Structure 1
Amino acid sequence: MKHFISRMIRTVGKKPEKSQVANNADVSNPAIDKKALERSVIVKNFDANYYLSTNPDVAQIGHDPLEHFLQYGWREGRNPNSWFRIKYYLDKNKDFLENDINPFFDYLIKREHITEDDRDEVADTPGPDKDDAIRSVVASHFDAAYYLARNGDVAESGVDPLDHFLEYGWREMRNPTDWFDIDEFLKTRPDVAYAGVNPFYHYLLERQQYQANDATDARPTGAPASADAAALSFQRSKIEPYFDREYYLKTYADIASAGVDPLAHFVAQGWQEGRNPTAQFDVREYLRLNPDVKSAGVNPFYHYVVVGKSEGRQTKSEHFVESKIIASARSMGARAAQDLSGASHRVALKPGILDEYVRRLIPGSRTQVIISLSHDDYTGNYGGIQNCIGQEQRASNSMGVSYVHLSPSRPTLYFDPDHGRKEALVTIVIDGDRIGHAKESDLVACLSKRISGSSIDNRLIIHSFLGFSLDFITALHETIRPRNSSIWIHDCSTLCTNYALLRNDIEFCWAPKLESASCTVCVYGSERGEHLKAMRRLFEMLKPDVIFPSETMRDFWIKKSNFTVGSLSVSPHARPLFGDRFRSRDVGRPAKVAFVGMASAHKGWHVFQELAETCRRDPRYSFFHFATSPSEPTPAIHFVPTTVTSQNSLAMITALIEHDIDMVVQWSLCFETFSFSTLEAVLAGTYIIGRRDSGNAAKMVEDYQSGILLDSKKDLVKFFSSGSAYEKLRIYRSRSIPVGSIELTGPEFSSYIER
């Protein structure tokens, strides 16, 4: 019970000497300034009556209680009020005495500057001493004669025995009666021990509830039969002001569908299942950081509310979310195996039916065919690559060229470099029409019949090889023998199995040398060597023209690759069209801040979530997410369903303008090859806060002078919490900010399609 053992009552007080410069202070003296500041901060929270009643030695000498506390009291472990425990704070900060740091001042300063979200999460919690109520309950059962007889030091001091028990006695394991043993009670009730509440008072409350429910008036000799229920009820009463019902129900759909009370569920079993009471408090992380709480088997949120916060306990490590991402990182091969194990079953077309489909959809009149590969079916999925393929298909068809698109029927993000793998199925789309799935061998045989030996001129375009194997692409190439081949560099999958080049899914690694320490510590390092060997074989076989969506990506890729290539070209996916419309110069309050696109870690979604939760109660900002699909629900972020397709390329720009979004956070952790979301944010006239090393995204922010680039998550949170974001927005909007539209662009076919 070391947390609750307090100092012995003092009988000798110290009277601080008056400063000789008190009436003529030298304001240039930093020591004097510091003391004056301490006094001005502490006086608002100092309880003089409490201090004198709990320190009779100070009262006897007639000295000003605040001055005594500032000069001596805190160093002696004397508490400034009923809810702050000096000793706890000093125990957590061993250097405070040595460095002359008043713990109460330090606590108040930190509390004053914490974010509104932290303040709301768990407000400064009063200690257990609700003086009048506690005194009234305890007094009716307290045995003063017994207490004085067993505690001679208290009798000699002349202090009221009940006052002594309420402030010191119970913490020192001094029993209030001959029938209640504090130590034995706390051994059976660790939740009460960690709560830091008077155990006798807590017991009496439980007894009252038990009697009210069961009309029992037996003399107590131990905890009542309903102690567990009463304990949960007590915990609930402490937790309830800080529990986020909306968050709990949105996060745990099974609880919402069951119709049970979320708080009751959390208190009874939710915390033991690792469910979190708020978006800011992580049960497992608190237990990891505080093993004593874990050992005691106490509800961690209850512990934090009643005592952990005042003790200065951490709820999360500084890089908690990043640590979770790193811990869950797995090699791409392992991820693919898991994806395939849970994928839906697909049925392959019979070879005869497949032949008939291909014959009808690629008629004899067609003399040119493009065969393209990507990681998924572009007709049923949405994104930048899918839009690019759609544009490519329509441009080809307009020139009389057939467009055959192939993708893995069970998509993964892994390129298999090995031979002898189990044959997979391929999804086939011809000129935008999805015809079904086929075995790889059946598809190769079908295309061989239709294309090989004919007058058809064909081209191979690879947008992504993820989900395919080197064996399949080799067999396909040998069968169709394309006039030329092209590879789009939409991501970094040519440089590593991790297409985003994120070391352990959290930090852009800049494609180091294979033997580097960076690869050694990364979960993708062990498979990168074989992957690069397969890439070299692929490029040597295809000798492809390489197409980049931006100059930024071209320059980076040239530095980091050494493959056999044909030509190099840049073909942006889209270009801006600015008109004569402008954003209003007025900035609302709160300013609306958005995340645009898929809620994934490599796009920085977790950073945006943390920012939104940190600033959740800041009246200057409100937060939004615009995407096709929402992430896990959070009250801090409002989701707006928005889907961009090649047929509706203005959907995102329109949505941002219609919802009057002021700022967009573009915090991609990877090196963006072409950032649609950044271009859309520019064209919607928003102020963009971007990450400096985000490739083409950062380049757009600079080129269009549409925002600011920051280096770290810490800088981002500070930028908002300090108010700089709001002020920069006001300055940005004080000038005329144009809005516009986006034009999707396709590759220039004239260089490799003969009309």
Structure 2
Amino acid sequence: MAAPAPVEDRILAEADLRAISTAFDPDFYRAVYTDLPAEMDALWHYRVAGWLEARDPATWFSTARYLEENPDVAAAGIEPFSHYLRRGHREGRDVRPSRLMSAYYGQVGWGAHEWGYPAFDGAPGLAPPRRSRAAGGALLLTDEHRAAIAAEFDAHYYLAVNPDVAQSGMDPLDHFLAAGWIEGRDPNARFSVRDYLADNPDVAATGVHPFAHYLLAGRAEGRAAKSQLGFRYDVIARLKPVEDRLADALAAAQRVRLDPPERLAPLADLGDLHITFSHDDYTAHSGGLQMCVRRESERFMARGVDHLHLFPAAFSPMVRLADEPGPLGVVLNGHRLGPHGAAAVQAALTPGSVGARRSFAIHSLLGHDPDATADILAAAGLSAGFFWLHDFASVCAGFHLLRNDVEDCAAPPRDSAACGVCAYGPFRARQEAGHRRLFDRLALTVVAPSQVTLDFWRAHTDLPARGAVALPHATLKPRGPAPQTAADRPLRVAYLGMPTVLKGWPVFRDLAIRLAEDPRYAFLHLGGQPDPSAPAAFHAVVATGDRPRAMQEAIEALEVDVALLWPLCRETFSFTAYEAAAGGAAVITGPDSGNVAAFASDPAIGRVLADEATLLQAFQGGEIVALSRRKRKARVFDQVYSGLSADLVTP
């Protein structure tokens, strides 16, 4: 190897660095090279000094052996990892695994690499390719393999889900062939490298490239491209223990630095006042609940009533205990006054003058201490107010009522076996007890945004509410018939909102993948963030305080026929469902979606299908086409928004 150059000359060319950064494994590097200072970046060390010291950048790549077996690379003084990634793999050069690979996986477990790579003995349906030593026995791809992979490789998808590769400037197919598949990256939305190797240990044992095997043999043999266990299995596999989530929240709360109490001085001069409590800062986050608090604030302030909003400065997944840290974020009339302790907020408030108009609404108790909440309200001269059911946190710590985050549980008895098998079960008593303390100390009128939510809540809790009322967040006012659409265009099926499991994105995604080649359907995604895993045309749409009807307007402009709203949880209201109907789209949902199902059960609004199998059958059989705007003579509506608590307080 050439003599080492001065440090300033060892900095790699930008293209080489970008290539390395996409495949470099910093966890491996730091774990096996324990002499690195904690503050030093692992990638920086490798590119400046590590490769010259024959250190390995990943489990599957031996720096020393690559240079030994490629004397032309060594003689030129070229950094070996970038050489392989950018040129060597295309030239058919072999790689060997790091000698430290076994030691590393002995520390962390095999994880995504649990398949190992023993010697190749041939694979049915595949011409035995020349064997490489990549990852301990992986195979060098033949021209047949490369051609098959290239034909079904989705470069747009690969770059979208791997932004580091996009930023590196590397050809995405080259990256996948050289390193991506070893790292468990997928070539398109329909194939999972990790699932295929986990489900087919015979393929894993050969070390053959999994995508090549599937394309040239596995598909014909009836092997699945992805796990048949479904997205719910993945959710459960990644489920973080609730106690760990709570511990993280408490640690975050302890790190919050409180502002000087002098910043709360404006609270002492308030007269007419409305106080709200929720789980976060409605001025900084978007979502249905945040829009509700914002709308409520605007209505009160329009009457000349000040609005004070309190929220946990560090999010917590459940009600806070008295001995747990709980700094509060304080917002007055839309302006932040910083984080403060509950006692400081209590001390800053006064009951106000005689005759002052004062009220309060609790939109969420998550992250709040019930007794501290009641004490703050007492300092403001308040004891009677409203408690909103935006979720079911007053019933269980799993406030979506999803057993292990995947299945509606319908709030079984706390001592039932069904509750005992759920991750949230051990915390349910804590959550219920916290809400009971709040209801015991305050005279609370429970307000639900739908009758179905109120009925369910009454049937599953005995909290001592002073009263209860259903007040929808919005109602629909007929505006007239929707414009006629072309008779020969495909049915436009849309998912609305952020692509999250909770809101049913995997159901939409899997349906779009299965029907991607069906000319009867066109799939669209309207939301704030794209997910290239679904073959759906993305349109950026976000409803804001300035444009609350942005989603409705987009649905109407794009002539969406069907909105597939398949939330896993029972929704207490769902602005999305109302936006869909207002824009002229039919709402399709499942039976466990709460108020969405209640809303869509009206044949003029949509359909409620029994399960996901029925959903697929309705699309494959073509029955769903009857819901096109043209065939059902769609109508459009105006949404009339409520003022929430402002509608319940006499002006």
Q: TM-score range by the shorter chain?
A: 0.7 to 0.9
TM-superposition CA deviations, 1:602-659 (whole Å, max 9, x none): 21111111111111222222222222x2143336122222222344222111111111
Q: Does 1:740 align with 2:626?
A: no
Q: Which residue of 2 aligns with 1:276?
A: 186
Q: Which residue of 2 aligns with 1:709?
A: 608
Once the two structures are superposed, the pairs formed by residues 681-720 of structure 1 within 5 Å of their partners are 681-703=580-602, 705-720=604-619
* Distance across 1 between alignment mates of 2:250 and 2:490: 45
Shift of 1:710: 0.8
1:435 counterpart SS class: strand
Contact 2:387 2:444 in 1 (8 A): yes
Q: Which residue of 1 aligns with 2:203?
A: 293
Shift of 1:293: 1.9
Aligned CA distance change for structure 1 residues 322 and 350 (closer, same or farther; 3 Å):
same
Please tell me the residue identity of whatever aligns with 1:285.
Answer: D
Q: Does 1:442 align with 2:344?
A: yes
Contact 1:653 1:741 in 2 (8 A): no
* Distance across 2 between alignment mates of 1:604 and 1:230: 40
Q: Which residue of 1 aligns with 2:514?
A: 614
Q: 2:394 aligns with which of 474, 485, 494?
A: 494
* Structure 2 segments unaligned to the other structure (5+ residues): 1-116
Q: Which residue of 1 aligns with 2:627?
A: 729
2:427 counterpart SS class: helix
Shift of 1:314: 2.6
Shift of 1:485: 2.2
1:404 counterpart SS class: strand
Please tell me the residue identity of whatever aligns with 1:729.
Answer: L
Q: Does 1:421 align with 2:330?
A: no
* Distance across 1 between alignment mates of 2:335 and 2:236: 41
Q: 1:256 aligns with which of 145, 156, 166?
A: 166
* Distance across 1 between alignment mates of 2:489 and 2:352: 65
Contact 1:652 1:680 in 2 (8 A): yes
* Distance across 1 between alignment mates of 2:140 and 2:241: 49
Shift of 1:537: 1.8
1:235 counterpart SS class: helix
TM-superposition CA deviations, 1:181-232 (whole Å, max 9, x none): xxxxxxx995671263344xx56xx9xxxxxxxxxxxxxxx99xxx989536
Instruction: Kindly name which structure, 1 or 2, has the bigger radius of gyration based on alpha carbons.
Output: 1
Q: Which residue of 2 aligns with 1:372?
A: 276
Contact 1:594 1:665 in 2 (8 A): yes
Q: Which residue of 2 aligns with 1:556?
A: 456
TM-superposition CA deviations, 1:310-355 (whole Å, max 9, x none): 2222333433211001222234443344467679975432112322
Shift of 1:455: 6.7
* Distance across 2 between alignment mates of 1:402 and 1:483: 18
Q: Does 1:196 align with 2:125?
A: yes
Alignment TM-score, normalising by the size of structure 1: 0.66
Q: 1:358 aligns with which of 244, 267, 288?
A: 267
Shift of 1:404: 0.6
* Distance across 2 between alignment mates of 1:587 and 1:547: 45
Contact 1:508 1:669 in 2 (8 A): yes
Q: Which residue of 1 aligns with 2:366?
A: 466
Shift of 1:464: 0.7
Please tell me the residue identity of whatever aligns with 1:296.
Answer: T
Shift of 1:469: 2.9
Higher helix share: 1
* Distance across 2 between alignment mates of 1:711 and 1:395: 40
Shift of 1:564: 0.6
* Distance across 2 between alignment mates of 1:631 and 1:337: 32
Contact 2:401 2:569 in 1 (8 A): yes
Please tell me the residue identity of whatever aligns with 1:551.
Answer: Q
* Distance across 1 between alignment mates of 2:221 and 2:637: 54
* Distance across 2 between alignment mates of 1:428 and 1:397: 17
Aligned CA distance change for structure 1 residues 562 and 263 (closer, same or farther; 3 Å):
same
Shift of 1:741: 1.5
Aligned CA distance change for structure 1 residues 478 and 298 (closer, same or farther; 3 Å):
farther
* Distance across 2 between alignment mates of 1:735 and 1:472: 54
Alignment TM-score, normalising by the size of structure 2: 0.76
Q: Which residue of 2 aligns with 1:302?
A: 212
Please tell me the residue identity of whatever aligns with 2:324.
Answer: R
Please tell me the residue identity of whatever aligns with 1:617.
Answer: E
* Structure 1 segments unaligned to the other structure (5+ residues): 1-187, 207-221
TM-superposition CA deviations, 1:582-620 (whole Å, max 9, x none): 231544523221111232212111111111111122222
Q: Does 1:565 align with 2:494?
A: no
Q: Does 1:403 align with 2:403?
A: no
Q: 2:289 aligns with which of 377, 385, 389?
A: 385
* Distance across 1 between alignment mates of 2:300 and 2:602: 32
Q: Which residue of 2 aligns with 1:576?
A: 476
Q: Which residue of 2 aligns with 1:314?
A: 224
2:181 counterpart SS class: helix
Q: Does 1:678 align with 2:577?
A: yes
TM-superposition CA deviations, 1:11-42 (whole Å, max 9, x none): xxxxxxxxxxxxxxxxxxxxxxxxxxxxxxxx
1:273 counterpart SS class: coil
* Distance across 1 between alignment mates of 2:341 and 2:287: 27
Q: Which residue of 1 aligns with 2:556?
A: 657
Contact 2:118 2:205 in 1 (8 A): no
The number of residue pairs the alignment matches comes to 532
Please tell me the residue identity of whatever aligns with 2:644.
Answer: P
Please tell me the residue identity of whatever aligns with 1:405.
Answer: H
Between stretches 286-295 and 312-321, larger displacement belongs to 312-321
